[in-house]
Amino acid sequence: MTDHPDFSVVVKHRGRLPDPWKWEIYRAGRKSPVKQSDLYFSTVAEANRAGRKALGLFLSEYQDEVSPKVGRSKNSK
């Protein structure tokens, strides 16, 4: 799952050749990234692919934090 209305992957030129590209994950309404790559990539496509994969992982962790626990009720033993 890499589609979410509040999060997006942006690839930016942040380094020097031969690997100048980094991905960054932004949340809607924020100016700074909530997560960014530690590694640099040689192409935009490589950075975007890695960023979308990281976004999927980030969103699965995010969903775990915001979703209520399913199958648990107050009366469960």
Please tell me whether residue 73 adopts helix, strand or coil conformation: coil
pLDDT digits (tens, 9 = 90+) for 29-64: 999 999 999 999 999 999 999 999 999 999 998 777
Whole-model pTM: value is 0.78
Name the percent of the chain lying above pLDDT 70.
82
Amino acid identity, position 51: G
pLDDT digits 0-9 by tens, 6-36:
999 999 999 999 999 999 999 999 999 999 9
Cα pseudo-dihedral 46, 31, 61, 59, rounded to 10:
-60
